[in-house]
Amino acid sequence: MNRKEIEKNCQQFLDALIIFIQSNHDDTFMCYANWDWNPSRARSRGGIYKNGKPLINMAMYPKVYEAYQVYRNDKLVFHYREYTSFNDDQMIGQFYTDNLIMTLKALICHEVAHVWVRHDGYSMIAHGFNWKKRYAILREKHINPYHDPAINTQLYHKSSIDIKAPDEDEDKKQRDAFLANCGKYGLPQDALDSEFMFKKVIHRVVGWNTRARKYYVILKREDGKMLTGEPYWVDFCLRNKNHAIHT
């Protein structure tokens, strides 16, 4: 199968996902794709870009020409792997297949879920519950029913994802945890002007480093827009009492 045929298969699958989401969840949903064959592109991405375009940017080269293969029951198959934290999840984790296109389709589901969660207005805790729920909906409908049981036996742990559960206010949960833990972990509580500084300076909490006991955050400029570039460690931004943080 050549590149054009692969792209055609992937685009048809993306179109099917769009129709599924529009028909069953949100008729305003839309998503575009860039099939990038540059060997230097190692990671795929999905989301709402700065120009407002909902887009998945797919790293095709490593998934096609460097696809990970293993022997499973004496058969050479492709191994689709996910992030370690949910790689063994029954609904959204790893699987084996003899069909390369199926691994691409699973990755498309992964990235479309990022677009979907952003479309629904969440600031996208990278792989939080709201994203996992959407990814699970896509996987359960379009990928998992086509697994070959002969090469996927004894593979999964039971999934903890409830696709019927309501969405969570993940931003509020992280914000509340951040405010509650400022004093607990020795961060400069006096520099945190109650909730004002959080609303003024911090755009989104990205993660938590247990060893360093610091939050990783994306900051706002004085005009309220998000700063570009890498996130900052939270103890740096809390020490800046002028609220004038620039790249």
Per-residue pLDDT tens digits for 204-232: 555 555 455 555 555 555 555 554 444 44
Decide: helix, strand or coil at residue 38: coil
Q: 58: which strand partners?
A: 35
pLDDT, one tens digit for every residue, the chain (247 residues): 799 999 999 999 999 999 999 999 999 999 999 999 999 999 999 998 878 899 999 999 999 998 888 888 788 999 999 998 899 898 999 999 999 999 999 999 999 999 999 999 886 567 888 999 999 999 999 999 998 888 886 556 678 898 999 988 876 776 666 556 555 544 444 444 444 444 445 555 555 554 555 555 555 555 555 544 444 444 434 433 333 322 2
CA-to-CA distance for 41 and 23, rounded, in angstroms? 33
Decide: helix, strand or coil at residue 125: coil
Q: Where are the alpha helices (DSSP H) in the chain?
A: 3-24, 60-65, 100-119, 129-142, 170-184, 196-201, 234-239
Question: Buried b vs exposed e over 77-96: b needs ≥16 C-beta within 10 Å?
Answer: bbebebeeebeebbbbbbbb
Taking each helix axis as running N to C, give the angle between helix 3-24 and helix 100-119, from 0 to 180 degrees, rounded to the nearest 10: 40
Give the model confidence (pLDDT) of 57-75 as tens digits.
Answer: 999 999 999 888 888 878 8
pLDDT at 191: 41
pLDDT at 35: 97
Return the number of other C-beta atoms located less than 10 Å from residue 44's C-beta: 20
What is the share, in percent, of the chain residues with pLDDT greater than 90? 46
